Amino acid sequence: CSFAFPEGVEGIVQAYSACLPHIRFYGPTNFSPIVNHVARFAAQATQQEAASQYFILLIITDGVISDMDETRHAVVQASKLPMSIIIVGVGNADF
């Protein structure tokens, strides 16, 4: 599934609806790669003269984080960037 950066709640819902049929759920559930990926975009945005971009990473997961130490490190590193991370657990896993 491929989409541009969605704007607003409606854009997020549209992107989620478009991608969901193409996703196969499996483990392990590693979050650090996606946190680092979005952090790179946010870091690039800080290099622009007019800091006008803010990134929100919404992770909807049905699994417990498998790479907790790496994810914790990635979140700490991203904490000084113009981004927020929201993780929503769905299903019966122990979140």
Q: How far is CA 15 from the centre of its chain?
A: 13
The model carries a pTM of 0.78
Close Cβ partners of 83 (under 8 Å, ≥ 6 residues apart): 38, 39, 42, 54, 55, 56, 57
Instruction: Write down the domain spans for the chain.
Output: 28-89
pLDDT tens digit sequence for 54-64: 998 989 888 88
Rounded Cα–Cα distance for residues 58 and 28 (Å): 18
pLDDT tens digit sequence for 36-46: 999 999 999 98
Residue 33 has pLDDT above 60, yes or no: yes
